[in-house]
Structure 1
Amino acid sequence: MANGQGQGHGGADGYGYGPGAAGGQGAVPPQNPYGPPAPYGHNPYAQPVPPQQPYAQQSPAGAQQPYPAPQFGAQQPQPQPQPHQQHAQPQPQPGGFPGPLPRRSRVAVLLQFLLQWIYAPLWIAALVLLFVVLIFADYNGSGPSSDGWLKVNRTFIPPRRLKAELTGRPEDWERYVTPILERRIAAAEASHAAGGGEVQADLGRQVAVRLAARLYRGLGAAGVVRIAERHGWHGSPVGTDAGHVGLVRRFPAPAGPPAPAPHDPPAAPGTPWGPQPTRSALLLPFVFLFQILYVPVYGLATFWVNRPEPDYWERWGARWTVGPRAFRAEFTDSPAAWDRHIRRILQRDTKRELARTPDSYAKLAAPDGTYYRRIQLHRATYRGAGAHHALRIAAEHGWTLDPAYTPDPANSLRLCRREQR
């Protein structure tokens, strides 16, 4: 029969109970459908293992694949690269110094370069005329808060900078700013050798250089710092802004060259620590009278000269001028007169230094709260008595040689006194 008992219903599609079906009569009982799963290799639904590529090339160590390989099955832990295999990432510049500034228009640069030969002389002539008017007018000292209108060089483009302004290439800007930076660095280091620089808490001294952005526009402050590092300098956040870059170099305290102690025998005349030759008593009155005329003339005629010596005017004054207080001591050349003069100047400078509060030395104080008060005696103060005699008088008031400076008794005597905050 078509629908006999021997043929299960729906045997063809597995829903019947006939002999053709899995659940038909007389068939083997089905296995437990909830039993343990078959092994991974016999799982019909498992993802196939990708075949090995016989022609695959081995990537070099540390190389980064442009596209990640597809993952099959469970993800295996990837081996971590060794430290020597990692690529060095670019480090940020110290202090976050900015890069090149926006490039100026070539048309504007050319117009400024051509017109500056007309307006720069007129500008200088107008400034001279203005100063003449202020001298004869009733000027009360009020005026603009900034002195930028006085500095014509800020708007002047030298021919050596024209190429860098037009091309905007960093290499052109580096060729232009490198000699300027080297001259500034040499002048700052010469100033340190002459006693300049800011004293630090560790008795070292720090000198600084500051460049305007117009000198390195296409190179950036970071490029200027890179050039300065070749000469032992580094960038400083202090003094660096949108229009300037600050550079500093710190020099350690001197090793302490030999210097006489206050209780040592007096130094011989003519030696650096002994009495120096004084000027003629006949010439001294003329110097005292005519210095009123030639000192202003020399100052106005040479104010534009850049001198690296921080005490240049003191040295020049000790040679070509004489003060009212030192006139008697040098005119008589008496040891007693020089002694009184040294004590008077030392008392004046000590009183002026002690007027400063301890809080003003906060940046120069050591971790234990100690700091140094500092004064300086110039050669005109102790010329006829000698630096050693002045050192002996200063020791009576607690002053000693300043360890932050190399002694230079032929020109000045730097003294210090240690105190506690």
Structure 2
Amino acid sequence: MTNGQERPGAAGYGGTPQQNPYGPSPYGPHPYGPNPYAQPVPPHQPQPQPYAVQPQPQPQPYPQPGPQPRAVLPGPLPRRNRSVVLLQFVLQWIYAPLWILALVGVFAVLLAAAIFSNYGGEGPSSDGWLRVNRSFVPPRRLRAELTGRPEDWERYVTPVLRRRIAAAEANHAAGGGRLQVDLSREVSVELAVRLYRGLGAQGVARIAERFGWQGAPSGTDAERVRLVRRIPAPAALGAPSPQDPPAAPGTPWGPQPGRFAPLLPVIFLLQIVYVPVYGLLTFWVNRTEPDHWERWGARWTVGPRAFRAEFTGSRAAWDRHVRRILKREATRELGRTADSYGRLVAPDGTFLRRIQLHRATYRGAGAHRALCIAAEQGWTLDPAFVPDPANSLRLCRPDHR
């Protein structure tokens, strides 16, 4: 089942997202060992075929976590009064439309304030009073609320949980998830108690186990249940090496076709209006992808620094632009202290510096060329992420305390 947010190659719920969308790769050891990009291939050795697999032993810089104990989760909660549930169900058809109209009015006022008075304050959160559905009892849940039977609650919760899990795994495929010390990533889902009251957190965890997920402690929040799944790092990175011949134009790793040059000044002027409106419309939206702007918004803009490179199509101009952005991101990352990495620092003091170059940075140069430039400074593809040159390059470099 898909939710319209998965990218090609992302598996649905219950299965690990596809690990190798671009084919196998000649990658060397993980970045904790010697940097294979900084060492040119000796002339007497034959060049490896692009995208061919060379199995490498994978060092373990961190102690590997053992099996996680099953969390002790609370059971079903007391049933709500039937009369209150029926009264809420009847009245919601009156107050819900009024609530929505009021929200539209508030949004119009904030939009006018932002345009005419340079209002810079924070708007209402989408997790707060904007969500009228928090007090809405859908007809599908009414039966479960009235009967209180676990089987009715399970029939209601299962499709809701299925959609949440599919969205979370699509988020992982887009680069989301919490990094772990073993380079895996943990994705999580939370359900409010109103969605599973008669089933209990234990029942929700039991349903989640069918999809490969498990329950986890939700801390001090007794009104939610938290579900997690740890997805291992890719076994092999399907990507060319910097020593490989340049990728062909139009391929995922090669230069992308440039936009019509006379149209770029028009885009540059229109984005003065487009970018603020886009930002305002998405300011309160819960993004389903961690780099939502780079995947959708940035495709229709041209930055002032990239304008010359894209307008001329010059390789030298694109190289200068990539180096400029790489230097900016590296300076920002190297400014972080080792203590800020917390649990991601190995016992011997080794940790990974991580940066990200977006598609708009290397559009005309190609992801492979950007990878070659980054390799000059010791940056390699991050082994915790599946390479996605059509959208961004996630790079890493080992460092020590």
Instruction: Specify the TM-score bucket, using the shorter chain as the normaliser.
Output: 0.7 to 0.9
Residue 159 of structure 1, aligned match among 119, 128, 139: 139
Q: Please list the CA deviations of residues 96-127 of structure 1 after superposition, one character each: whole Å capped at 9, or x if unmatched.
A: 20011111100100110000111111112222
Letter in 2 for 1:161: R
Find the counterpart in structure 2 of residue 287 from structure 1: 267
Residues 1:98 and 2:87 are matched in the alignment: no
201 and 355 in structure 1: CA distance in 2 versus 1, 3 angstrom threshold? same
Q: 2:123, 2:284 within 8 Å by CA — same for their partners in 1?
A: no
User: Alignment partner for residue 105 of structure 2, among 129, 140, 149?
Assistant: 129
5+ residue gaps in structure 2? 1-68
Paired amino acid for 1:115: L
Deviations 1:313-341 (A, max 9, x none): 21223421111111111011111110110
Distance 2:265 2:187 in 1: 40
Residues 126 and 286 in structure 2, CA contact (< 8 A), matched pair in contact too: no
* C-alpha deviation, 1:213, in angstroms: 0.5
Please identify, of 310-319 and 354-363, the stretch whose mean Cα deviation from structure 2 is larger: 310-319
Give the CA deviation at 1:94.
2.8
Mapping of residues 327-342 of structure 1, within 5 Å: 327-342=307-322
Identity among equivalent positions (%) equals 76
Distance in structure 1 (CA, Å) of the matches to 2:389 and 2:106 = 44
Residues 280-302 of structure 1, C-alpha deviation per residue, up to 9 Å, x if partnerless? 10111111111233445556667
1:199 to 171, 179, 186: 179
2:200 matched to 1:224? no
The secondary structure found in structure 1 opposite 2:390 is coil
**Alpha-carbon shift at residue 415 of structure 1 (Å):** 0.1
Counterpart of 1:419 in structure 2 is: 399
CA distance in 2, matches of 1:146, 1:267: 43
Q: Check conservation: 1:240, 1:246, Cα contact below 8 A.
A: no
Counterparts of 1:9-408 in structure 2, within 5 Å, are: 94-136=70-112, 141=121, 148-238=128-218, 241-297=221-277, 308-408=288-388
Deviations 1:376-410 (A, max 9, x none): 11111011111111111111222111000111112
Deviations 1:163-214 (A, max 9, x none): 0011111110000000000011111111112222111111111111111100
Q: Contact 2:237 / 2:383 at 8 angstroms: preserved in 1?
A: no
Question: Structure 1 residues 211, 240: CA separation in 2 closer, same or farther (over 3 Å shift)?
Answer: farther
For residues 382 and 371 of structure 1, the distance between their equivalents in structure 2, rounded to whole angstroms, comes to: 27
The structure with the largest alpha-carbon Rg is: 1
Cα distance change on mapping 1:203 and 1:132 into 2, 3 Å: same
- Checking the alignment, whether the CA contact within 8 Å between 1:191 and 1:308 is kept in structure 2 is yes
Indicate the larger mover: 286-295 or 203-212: 286-295
Displacement of 1:308 in angstroms is: 4.2
Contact 1:239 1:246 in 2 (8 A): no
The answer on whether the counterparts of 2:358 and 2:392 sit within 8 Å (CA) in structure 1 is yes
Shift, 1:365, TM fit: 2.0
Aligned Cα RMSD in Å? Answer: 2.4
User: Tell me, what secondary structure is at the counterpart of 1:374?
Assistant: strand
Q: Is the partner of 2:247 in helix, strand or coil?
A: coil
Aligned-partner SS, 1:95: coil
Residue-by-residue CA offset, 1:199-235 (whole Å, 9 max, x unaligned): 1111111111111100000000010000001110011
The answer to whether the Cα contact below 8 Å between 1:228 and 1:247 also exists between their aligned partners in 2 is: yes
Letter in 1 for 2:213: W
CA distance in 1, matches of 2:126, 2:395: 36
Paired with 1:354 and 1:303, the residues of 2 have a C-alpha distance of 29
**Normalized against structure 2, the TM-score is what?**
0.76
CA distance in 1, matches of 2:361, 2:333: 17
Does the aligned pair in 1 maintain the 2:268–2:302 contact within 8 Å? yes
Number of equivalenced pairs: 329
Aligned with 1:274: secondary structure? coil
Query: Is there any run of 5+ residues in structure 1 with no aligned partner, and where?
Result: 1-92
CA distance in 2, matches of 1:297, 1:144: 17
- Other structure's SS at 1:249 match: strand
